Amino acid sequence: MIETLKGMQETVNFREHGGLLLYDNTECENYPSHWHAPLEIIMSLENEYSAICNNNLYHLKEGDVLIINSGVIHSLYSPPKGRRIIFQPNFSLLHNVKDLESTLTIISPVALITAENSPAIHDKIHHLMLEILDEYNADAPLSEASIYAKLIALFVLIGRNITSTSEISTLNNSKQKIYAEKFLFVCDYINEHCTEDLSLDLVADLTGFSKYHFTRLFKQFTNISFYKYLNQKRIANAENLLINPDISITEVALHSGFTSLSSFIRMFKLIKNCTPTEFRHMYST
């Protein structure tokens, strides 16, 4: 149920005096293309469910979990009968928690967690989502704190699963911990400094690896290259600026770390499948 929709932008009306909204949805209702600032976590409880996010189709079977990052344009489609959890937490409250922002970036824009693609963590995440549902409905003292604790646990599972399935997992425990901490630090550093002139050599030096070794390990850890990760963060920064119509496209490009308007437009279209101008129009209508 979308309560407040202006153009494509949904304003999420959190539960009173809190930063959470959870919908135990049993209605046969489709949701048009929209976006919102909070991330969204959907878990199908009965029957299947479908979502289109950034023009990609995702099918959820019973028990599958879909995480949609902040600002991602998506639409949702339900079968005639079914039930699913639609959970929208104010994740900005957790942005200062070490490593969580990096985990979100690595799985951006969308992550589908199933028993097939994530066998080590799927059951635990499924169980955490059910606990969040029970806690939300109980509305007991400290229920919001309990829900955020479970949300953190959920993303810790995802972050550790990323580490365990990368090449880093072949190292011994002590080295694995050191490498994981190094690359989480690097991701945090890129998140904070992405609008600056970051080079591969500079970031590799932060880890103490040669740029060739760093390049290989970074891709193993994040599943994308250093430059793709950097550009995704720059484009995410640009999205926030584009929402403000008083900032010109050229200013957005320069304030997001791009040295030219043409390179910004080319990269924006590559990542978002639309131009900055088209994006601004979609988010303002």
Pairwise pLDDT comparison (18 vs 263), residue with the higher score: 263
Query: Quick one: 251 and 213 in the same domain?
Result: no
Is the confidence at residue 176, as pLDDT, over 80?
Answer: no
- Last residue of some domain: 223, 241, 265? 223
Q: Which of 57, 40, 60, 58 is nearest to 48 (CA)?
A: 60
The pLDDT assigned to 2 comes to: 74
Residues of 22-35 as b/e, b for ≥16 C-beta within 10 angstroms?
beebeeeeebeebb
The pTM of the full predicted model, rounded to 2 decimals, is: 0.78
How many independent structural domains does the chain possess? 3
Answer yes or no: do 149 and 265 share one domain.
Answer: no
Q: Of the ranges 13-17, 70-74, 92-96, 273-277, which one carries the lowest mean pLDDT score?
A: 92-96
Whether residue 153 sits in one domain with residue 18: yes
pLDDT at 112 over 80: yes
Given a cut of 80, is residue 73 above it in pLDDT?
yes
pLDDT tens digits for range 150-171: 999 999 999 888 776 655 555 5
Query: Which comes out higher in pLDDT, residue 71 or 147?
Result: 147
Q: Out of 60-69, 111-120, 166-175, 188-197, pick the least confident.
A: 166-175
Asked whether the predicted pLDDT for residue 172 surpasses 70, the reply is no
Same domain, 159 and 174: no
Task: Please report, for the domain that includes residue 274, its CATH number.
Answer: 1.10.10.60
**174 and 49 co-located in one domain:** no
Average pLDDT along the chain: 88
Range of the domain at 138: 5-164
- Hey, what are 39's tokens? 């991330």
Say if residue 128 is in the same domain as residue 176.
no
* 55-59, 91-95, 118-122, 144-148: segment of lowest average pLDDT: 91-95
- pLDDT over 90 (residue 67): yes
- Is the same domain home to 155 and 20? yes
Could you tell me if 48 and 124 lie in one domain?
yes
Among 147, 164, 181, residue at a domain's last position: 164
Quote the pLDDT of residue 168.
53
39 and 147 together in one domain: yes
**pLDDT score of 65:** 97
My answer on whether 150 and 188 are in the same domain is no
Contact assessment for residue 188 and residue 102, using Cβ atoms and an 8 Å cutoff: yes
Confidence check: pLDDT of 31 > 60: yes
**Mean pLDDT of the 50-69 span:** 93
What single-letter DSSP state applies at residue 94?
G
The verdict on 34 and 173 lying in the same domain is no
Tell which of 164, 184, 206 closes a domain. Answer: 164
Residue 208's Cβ-count burial label (10 Å; 0-12, 13-18, 19+) is exposed
pLDDT digits (tens, 9 = 90+) for 124-135: 999 999 999 999
Residue 56 tokens, joined = 């990609």
What pLDDT shows up at residue 258?
Answer: 96
pLDDT > 70? residue 40: yes
CB burial of 233-261 (b: ≥16 within 10 Å; e: otherwise) equals bbbbbbbebbeeeeeebeebbeebbbeeb
User: Which CATH number belongs to the domain containing residue 89 in this structure?
Assistant: 2.60.120.280
pLDDT of residue 283: 65
43 & 173 share domain: no
